[in-house]
């Protein structure tokens, strides 16, 4: 995208959240991540911006950043099943299936999916 980027950080938190969602929905994941990075830093106690940031990192192939954000999320919210699943998928995508397995099993168990 060749548009000016100066306006990404302008506006209220709600306006920046809406802007980030628009970019995410338009599959402009790297741009969404730039907006969400500052938004998540301003309100680290809010899960939604941090989870969307991790998703934006994942979809823009910034896998080490996605992993770091997901680990931080799980440190604060260990019962967040979607973060468990995303961390497992992120580790798989990095070629680390053995590390991914426990997170994927836990996410499945939290979703009520038990192996027979």
- Residue 95 region by backbone torsions, left for phi larger than 0, else alpha for psi between -120 and 50, else beta: left
DSSP of 6-56: GGGG-S-HHHHHHHHHHHHHTT-HHHHHHHHHHHHHH-TT-HHHHHHHHHH
Instruction: Give the per-residue pLDDT at 1.
Output: 44
Chain segment 21-36, per-residue pLDDT in tens: 999 999 999 999 999 9
pLDDT at 111 (0 to 100) = 87
For the chain, list residues with pLDDT below 70: 1-9, 115-116
pTM: 0.88
pLDDT (0 to 100) of residue 10: 72
Q: How far apart are alpha carbons 87 and 54 in whole angstroms? A: 9
Asked if residue 77 lies in contact with residue 47, where contact means CB atoms within 8 angstroms, the answer is yes
């Amino acid at each position: 995208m060749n548009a000016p980027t100066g306006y990404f950080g302008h506006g209220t938190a709600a306006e920046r959240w809406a802007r980030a969602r628009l970019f995410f929905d338009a599959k402009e994941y790297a741009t969404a991540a730039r907006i969400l990075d500052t938004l998540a830093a301003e309100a680290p106690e809010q899960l939604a911006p941090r989870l969307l940031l991790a998703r934006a990192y994942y979809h823009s192939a910034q896998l080490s950043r996605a992993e770091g954000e997901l680990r931080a999320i799980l440190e604060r919210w260990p019962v967040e099943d979607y973060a468990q699943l995303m961390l497992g998928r992120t580790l798989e995508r990095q070629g680390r299936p053995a590390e991914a397995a426990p997170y994927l099993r836990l996410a499945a168990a939290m979703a009520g999916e038990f192996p027979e």
